[in-house]
Amino acid sequence: MSLKFEIFSKHKKSRTGLLRTAHGNIQTPAFMPVGTRGTVKGILPEIVEQTGAEILLGNTYHLMLKPGAERVAHLGGLHKMMNWNKPILTDSGGFQVMSLSSLRKITEDGVLFNSHIDGSKHMLSPETSTNIQYLLDSNITMAFDECSQYPISHEDAEISMELTNRWADRSRIAFVKRYGYGQFGIIQGSVYPDLRKKSADYITKIGFDGFAIGGLAVGEGQEVMFNVLDYLPDFMPENKPRYLMGVGKPSDIIGAVKRGVDMFDCVIPTRSGRNGQAFTKNGTINIRNSKYINVQNPIEHDCECIACTNYSMAYIHYLVKVGEMLGAILMTIHNLTYYQNLMKRIRNYIDEGRDFDFQT
């Protein structure tokens, strides 16, 4: 057995479930904090676990450059190296090659690119990406894809999608099947329904353990993204998890769950926390605002995170304003807790057969 996915309850297109891996179970819908370089920035793994997170995302591109996949393997794999014994999903590196590399050359073999760190040349192919993720010991390996930018013409989107489909075949062949580990295929096709259908038909026949929606959250806006999600999950198997890559605003998540998506990742809660923005059920707040200078209340009254149970908004405002790292840490802890509480609230609504009556 690789991964096992069970659906527990449904409400319209939304569903709750459980994804079983060798390093533990993941309740879905699920949000994955991003641990780009083997760490969620500024937060101990033990604290990340306390926020309710059941799975983290690691970054193939960054980890292959430093410290290197072979070194991670030598240190016992990503779980042991970073002291996180729960599930890990790693991306394939395709998006980062597109967004970070100043020079890249795409061929049928793969992508030749220059490191954004030192300019050194590297090659990522379906085989090398899959092997790197094997060395990292990630529970969920992503197939290597060509992530198209937005906007893109239908012709160029089709060329990119067909390349992703061919790379998906090679990724699957390169994947080492073992108990509690699996591989997700990625459906591309930009905003074109015919291309999305063609990609979904091809990718789902390969036999992946789950399926991801790529090529969204690349500048198209929420309305366009929801237009794609109105039909795309219907092209995907009912009995496999569906992962919307790189999407993480609360309203995006709620809207995507309504349309049948199960898994999410995004840097928004951690990056926003470092920049002084906190998420609450009443919307976002900017802790830098002078109106919080003397506020003795927590960021959110019913939040049980370390930040809200121990520190006032006035103190966190002060820390952030003077640039103390503790301010960013506390804000990040709160945001990660908010996101996990949001997912729990979403799951409860689905289990109870209720329409979502909240946007944040």
Which residues participate in catalysis according to the annotation? 91, 265
For tokens 């390969």, the residue is 206
Instruction: Note whether 212 and 186 are within 8 A (CB).
Output: yes
> Rounded to the nearest 5 degrees, what angle is found at the Cα of 168, between the Cα atoms of 6 and 102?
115
Query: Measured between alpha carbons, how far is 211 from 168 in angstroms, rounded to an integer?
Result: 11
Question: Which of 315, 259, 305 lies closest to 280 in space, CA to CA?
Answer: 305
> For the chain, where are the alpha helices, taking DSSP H only?
45-50, 60-65, 69-74, 78-82, 94-100, 126-136, 154-174, 193-206, 222-229, 250-258, 268-274, 306-310, 313-322, 325-351
Query: Measured between alpha carbons, how far is 170 from 182 in angstroms, rounded to an integer?
Result: 15
End-to-end CA distance of the chain: 37
